[in-house]
Amino acid sequence: MSAEKIIQEWKKGTFKPIYWLEGEESYFIDQVVNYAEHKILNESEAGFNLTVFYGRDADWASVVNACRRYPMFAERQVVLLKEAQQMRDVEKLEAYIDNPLSSTIFVVSYKEKKVDARTKFAKLLKQKGEVFTTKKLYENQLPEWTNQMVIQHGLTINQKALLLLVDHIGNDLSRLQNEVEKLAVNLHGRKNITEEDIEEFIGISKEFNVFELQDAVVKKDLPKAIRIIQYFSKNPKAAPIQMILPALYNFFSKVYVVFGLPAKDDKSIAAALGVNPFFVKDYLTAIRNYDFRSTEKALLLLHQYNLRSIGIGDAATEDGDLLKELVVKMMM
């Protein structure tokens, strides 16, 4: 069950006694917890019937006692246990989970971890309540996820602006949401987000970013690559080398895979790499400009310069100079 599905059921007045929210992606866990804290009960009901614990400070007995209380002047009460992964003896909640109170909605946030599915505790959770396990979105899912968020705000976004936003922020869903909300406020009634909006309101240059550097490297456009690197040298926060090198390595790793594909049409490449079909043209350009040997060379160089960037075998060269050396060698 997704976060959206849980919240939809709550809106319809359908509740289970226990919701165990676990896994890698805190954004979806926070969505559910935030709704439980602020929306299930109205303001007057919450004063008597909302109890919030934090795992670091809570003991299991206090949590169980709160769950066993009956609601006052309401049909149900809500008990939240946030950051439960920091709670000692969390498994001692088992006795309550085995026999929960139907008038209590017990919501547990267990971030960045999962309960061992083989244990009695995990089996009880599935039997008595709802277990929601989250995973990080894959890189190729981020553009579509972000686009859907834009649509939910009644907006549209052009493809380059979308890629700029996702490429710069990466897999941080909370920050992506915040930036989309910032854009929605600053458009002042306009409905389409452009790369100019990304530059003005998010602070990402439409000309000088990792995506444009990658494009220059793929097309072997050395003057453009050097201009971008010089911009990065003057504006180190725009794209630190620790962000640039993994992005290029990830791209050329996928190029390496393309050489082994039996079919090199757009659909086959997108499916094999797990990328949005919009990106396929970049990989096709890369295999035209880099043969198999030069792709291997690019990957080895990226590994070598990544080590140098963290001081292994090179403690003095500036990041900008490392990048210039790297792109020249890659394009040779």
Which part of the chain has CATH 1.10.8.60? 139-202
Q: Does domain 210-331 fall into CATH 2.130.10.10?
A: no
pLDDT tens-digit profile of 79-121?
Answer: 999 999 999 899 999 999 999 999 999 999 999 989 888 899 9
Q: What pLDDT does 207 receive?
A: 86
Per-residue CA distances from 177 to 161, 174, 198, 202 (Å): 15, 5, 14, 12
Query: What does DSSP assign to residue 15?
Result: -
- Statement: the pTM of the whole predicted model exceeds 0.85: no
Q: What is the DSSP string of 293-321?
A: HHHHHHHHHHHHHHHHHTTSS-SS--HHH
Which part of the chain has CATH 1.20.272.10? 210-331
pLDDT tens-digit profile of 181-222?
Answer: 999 999 988 999 999 999 999 888 888 889 899 999 999 999
Q: Is the pLDDT of residue 11 over 80?
A: yes
Q: What pLDDT does 41 receive?
A: 95
Alpha-carbon radius of gyration of the chain: 25
Return the CATH architecture of domain 139-202: Orthogonal Bundle (1.10)
Q: Give the separation between CA 222 and CA 165, rounded to whole angstroms.
A: 25
What percent of the chain lies above the pLDDT cut of 90?
77
pLDDT tens-digit profile of 220-270?
Answer: 999 999 999 999 999 888 889 998 999 999 999 999 999 999 998 888 998
Return the CATH architecture of domain 3-134: 3-Layer(aba) Sandwich (3.40)
Query: What does DSSP assign to residue 17?
Result: S
pLDDT tens-digit profile of 134-145?
Answer: 999 988 888 999
Which part of the chain has CATH 3.40.50.300? 3-134
